[in-house]
Structures are given as C-alpha cells and as structure tokens.
Amino acid sequence: MKKFLKHNGLLFLIAAAVIVADQLTKALVRQNLALGEAWSPIPAIGDFFRFLYWQNRGAAFGTLQNAGPILTIVRIAIVLFIIVFYQKAEIKDVLVKVSLSLMLGGALGNLVDQFTLGFVTDFIAVGRFPIFNVADSCVTIGVGLMLLDMIIKEKNGSEIDPEVKSGQDA
C-alpha cells in the first residue's frame, strides 16, 4: 500500500484538487446564474471576459452536441488509459506526472457532471472563443505541459525514457 501511495500520490492529489475546484466553481455558477445568463466581473473590459452559464451536451468547446453515450464512453476510456499508463510506465519526469494528473482530474470533473446532470456545465467565456470550464482548462494545460516537456527534451537532445515510450518495465 505504501508503494502504491508513493507512486500515485501526486496523480491522486492533483486530480482530486482539480475535481474539487471544478465542481465548486460549476455549483457556484448553477446557483447564481440562470441558464444563458452572463456576468462580467471586470466592467472595464466589458463582455470580453464573462461568466456565462451554459449546458454543454457535447465534447470540449461545444463540439459534437448531443453525442451522449458515445462521448461518455470516450471520456471513460481516456480516464482508464491515463490511469493504466501511469501505473505501467516508470515516469520519472515530474512535468509528465503533473500533466497526466491535470488531464485525469479534468476528465473526471466533466464525467461527474455527465453522470449527475446529463450535461457538462460550462461558464468561462472569453471573446468569441467557445465557453469552457475549469476541467477543460486543466485538460488543455495538461496537454500543453506534455508538449512542453517533449519540446524541452528534444531541444536538450535528451530522449524520452524508454519505459515511458513503451509503457513497460525495463
């Protein structure tokens, strides 16, 4: 058990923090804004940045609306892939661990909505960009950190750990 916690501590801690932040912010929005209602917290920039309560019945950024069960299956598969990959790969790079943890927390945060509400609560609106939420942000940041790690390793001429590449113990 101690080895399991040591190996997975960061994964579960970050994922749990993301889920809590995501669910708290979504609950605040649902309690304080009517569906379609917006609030602009920074009057000086007008409606460029606002909180807008929206029910997303599709994928990220409002794509694939009403795809329902298929998207739920895809989200579950992503969660399972991250967990299995994290268990099988000997990941030594903290940046990779953090990126996977953010992606896991974001995917689970949106799955909580999907299972409990039948839709994902979106509420962050910036300019004309599609409305998103904390979970979406964490998935995007996680992917960005993973790409950053690859770029840094390529620039430094270092190779990705063979264990991470193959997902098998050496």
Q: Specify the pLDDT at position 170.
A: 42
Who has greater pLDDT, 20 or 152? 20
Catalytic residues: 122, 136
What mean pLDDT, rounded, does the chain reach?
87
Closest to 117 in 3D by CA, of 56, 63, 166: 56
pLDDT at 60 over 70: no
CA distance 159 to 86: 19
SS3 category, 6: helix
21 contacts 130 by C-beta, under 8 angstroms: no
SS3 category, 10: helix
pLDDT at 59 over 50: yes
Confidence category of residue 5, pLDDT binned at 50, 70, 90: confident
pLDDT at 46 over 50: yes
**Least-confidence region, from 42-46, 64-68, 110-114, 128-132:** 64-68
123-132 mean pLDDT:
93
Closest to 42 in 3D by CA, of 98, 121, 125: 125
Q: Specify the pLDDT at position 81.
A: 93
